Amino acid sequence: MRGVRDDVLEAVSALRRGGLVGLPTETVYGLGADASNELAVRRIFAVKGRPSRHPLIVHVACADDARRLAAAWPDEAGVLARAFWPGPLTLVVTRASAVSDAVTGGQDTVGLRVPDHPLALELLSTFGGGVAAPSANRFGRVSPTTAQHVRDELGADVDVVLDGGPCRVGVESTIVDLSRGAPRVLRPGGVPREALEAALGAPVPVVTTATDVRAPGLLASHYAPRAGLSLVSAEALAGEAGRRLRDGATVAALVPAASPTPAGVVRFEVAGDDAAYARALYATLREVDARGLDVVLAVPPPATGVGLAVVDRLRRASAPRAPPDDEGHGAR
């Protein structure tokens, strides 16, 4: 096709063959497959090691394509799609019958998103259909924010990795459930809750426990590096670091620019605001692991704006890590 980049065309033909594509988005890289091809979708679960009943987000090129995959399109969906798409927002709505159980994990709802990345949009509009894509990491681990992370983590299990550069947002999309009445946030992410509330003109609660939704992003231990992670206040950092160092651990600290770090600690500084923290978060946790450090002490940003998503991911990364059961609960 004229005007479409060669690497995008290669990715489109991989999707058409039932292959898996490393998909750059503004949030994190996705592991994409043709949402209408059940075998291809099942391969995603196999490669990720993800329990098959956990639903996937379907990525589309525009809001009209999203509507076609929904059985109902509430007023709030229209408002939020106009305000934030393309962008880091996933809308959970009742699914159209054409959306397969492989994608939704057998649920009657589907998560839909128009990502804000030029290569993703070119891929989606050239492909013409929905692309089911979870984050391109093994289940429970840190999401990839560069093409190299995807290659490092998934290797030959992914057919084509489209390189769209480092992700601009750095944490996953905000998931808003519109399928059960008043909108609620299932996962804080790139669109701040405050911005949702401003667009809707109403408070939007954040769901904190996963009772009636099967969302691995809501499991306690998730998004975890190999290093043990603890949240500490700026004031407590020196004392906690000293204790860990005396125990013989190698210690990293993830801190806002203003916070000093004690001697003997490997310092990872976030220069800037909550958005800068989000952008740096996953790459830093990968770097901590690459250097083989035992412990990372994170001084969190304020839990406002995108900072709420950062605090959420840090909490999950610091949760106790139980061995996985059949459902994958507690899996790393």
| Residues that bind Mg ion in the complex, under the rule CB under 5 A | 135
The separation between the first and the last C-alpha atoms of the chain, rounded to the nearest angstrom, is 42
Q: How far is the CB of 158 from ligand TXA (least distance, A)?
A: 13
Tell me which amino acid residue 50 is.
Answer: R
Return the one option of ligand TXA, Mg ion, none that residue 104 interacts with (CB less than 5 to 8 A, by type): ligand TXA
Q: How far is the CB of 220 from Mg ion (least distance, A)?
A: 15
Q: How far is the CB of 112 from ligand TXA (least distance, A)?
A: 9
Closest residue to Mg ion, judged by C-beta, is 135
Return the one option of ligand TXA, Mg ion, none that residue 110 interacts with (CB less than 5 to 8 A, by type): ligand TXA
Q: How far is the CB of 316 from Mg ion (least distance, A)?
A: 11
When the beta carbons of 68 and 230 are compared against ligand TXA, the nearer one is 68
When the beta carbons of 104 and 259 are compared against ligand TXA, the nearer one is 104
Rounded Cα–Cα distance for residues 153 and 171 (Å):
18
When the beta carbons of 113 and 244 are compared against ligand TXA, the nearer one is 113
**Tokens describing residue 319:** 């949760």
* Residue of 199, 15, 220, 221 lying closest to 91 (CA atoms): 199
In 3-state terms, what secondary structure has residue 35?
coil
Return the one option of ligand TXA, Mg ion, none that residue 300 interacts with (CB less than 5 to 8 A, by type): none
Q: Say how far residue 21 (Cα) sits from the centre of its chain.
A: 16
Residue for token pair 């770097």: 287
Q: What CA dihedral angle connects 98, 71, 24 and 31, to 10 degrees?
A: -40
* Residue of 260, 287, 257 lying closest to 274 (CA atoms): 257
Rounded Cα–Cα distance for residues 77 and 62 (Å):
13
Contacts to ligand TXA by CB under 6 A: 25, 27-28, 30, 54-57, 88, 90, 92, 104, 107, 109-111, 113, 115, 133-135, 172-173, 175, 186, 213, 215-217
When the beta carbons of 136 and 255 are compared against ligand TXA, the nearer one is 136
Q: How far is the CB of 167 from Mg ion (least distance, A)?
A: 13
Strand 57-59 and strand 109-113: the pairing is parallel
**Tokens describing residue 173:** 């999309």
Rounded Cα–Cα distance for residues 136 and 20 (Å):
10
Q: How far is the CB of 186 from ligand TXA (least distance, A)?
A: 6
When the beta carbons of 107 and 135 are compared against Mg ion, the nearer one is 135
Return the one option of ligand TXA, Mg ion, none that residue 229 interacts with (CB less than 5 to 8 A, by type): none
